[in-house]
Amino acid sequence: MSVANERSEAPTAIRSDLGAIFVSLELSQSKWLITSLSPEGGGKMSKHAVAASAVAELLDQFTELNRKAQARTGKCFPIIVIQEAGLDGFWIHRVLQAEGIESYVVDPASIAISRRRRRAKTDRIDGEALVGALLAYKRGEPRVCAMIRVPTPEEEDRRRVSRERKALTNERVRHVNRIKGLLFSQGVSGCEPLRRDRRKRLEELQTGDGRPLPAHLKAQISRELDRLELLLEQIKAVEAERDAMFAAAQIVSPAPALLLNLKGIGPEFAAVLWSEGLYRHFDNRRQIAAYAGLAPTPWQSGWVDRDQGVSKSGNPRLRSMLIQLAWLWLRHQSRSALTLWFRERVKQNGGRLKKTTIVALARKLLVALWKYVRAGVVIEGAVMKTA
> Does residue 383 belong to any structural domain of this protein?
no
Co-location of 191 and 272 in the same domain: no
pLDDT at 16: 47
pLDDT at 296: 83
Co-location of 200 and 159 in the same domain: yes
Helix (H) or strand (E) holding 221: helix 215-252
Enclosing domain of residue 25: 3-139
d(CA 89, CA 104): 12
pLDDT at 2: 44
At residue 46, the 3 state secondary structure works out as: strand
Parallel/antiparallel/unpaired status of strands 296-301 and 31-37: unpaired
Q: Tell me, what DSSP letter sits at residue 283?
A: S
The CATH number of whichever domain residue 81 belongs to comes to 3.30.420.40
pLDDT at 387: 58
Parallel/antiparallel/unpaired status of strands 79-84 and 21-27: parallel
d(CA 207, CA 212): 6
> Does residue 380 belong to any structural domain of this protein?
no
User: Mean pLDDT in each 10-residue stretch from start to end of the chain (387 residues)?
Assistant: 44 60 94 90 85 94 92 90 94 95 93 81 91 92 90 91 95 96 92 92 91 94 96 96 87 84 91 90 91 87 83 89 95 94 93 90 95 90 83
d(CA 19, CA 39): 6
Co-location of 112 and 27 in the same domain: yes
Q: Within a 10 A sphere around the Cβ of 341, how many other Cβ atoms? A: 14
> Does residue 146 belong to any structural domain of this protein?
no
Co-location of 29 and 117 in the same domain: yes
> Does residue 186 belong to any structural domain of this protein?
yes
> Does residue 111 belong to any structural domain of this protein?
yes
Co-location of 236 and 266 in the same domain: no
Co-location of 42 and 107 in the same domain: yes
Co-location of 90 and 205 in the same domain: no
Q: Tell me, what DSSP letter sits at residue 371?
A: H
Co-location of 7 and 132 in the same domain: yes
**Please, how many CA atoms are within 13 Å of residue 252, restricted to the half-sphere of its CB?**
6
Q: Count of domains in the chain?
A: 3
**Total residue length of the chain:** 387
Parallel/antiparallel/unpaired status of strands 79-84 and 304-310: unpaired
Nearest to 291 by CA among 91, 3, 48, 42: 3
Co-location of 353 and 227 in the same domain: no
Co-location of 246 and 261 in the same domain: no
Co-location of 130 and 168 in the same domain: no
Under 8 Å between Cβ of 369 and 273: yes
CA 284 to chain centre: 19
Question: Would the pTM count as exceeding 0.95?
Answer: no
d(CA 307, CA 226): 50
Under 8 Å between Cβ of 295 and 288: no
Q: Tell me, what DSSP letter sits at residue 145?
A: -
> Does residue 385 belong to any structural domain of this protein?
no
- Domain's final residue, options 107, 139, 171: 139
Co-location of 159 and 94 in the same domain: no
d(CA 242, CA 347): 40
pLDDT at 15: 53
At residue 24, the 3 state secondary structure works out as: strand
> Does residue 384 belong to any structural domain of this protein?
no
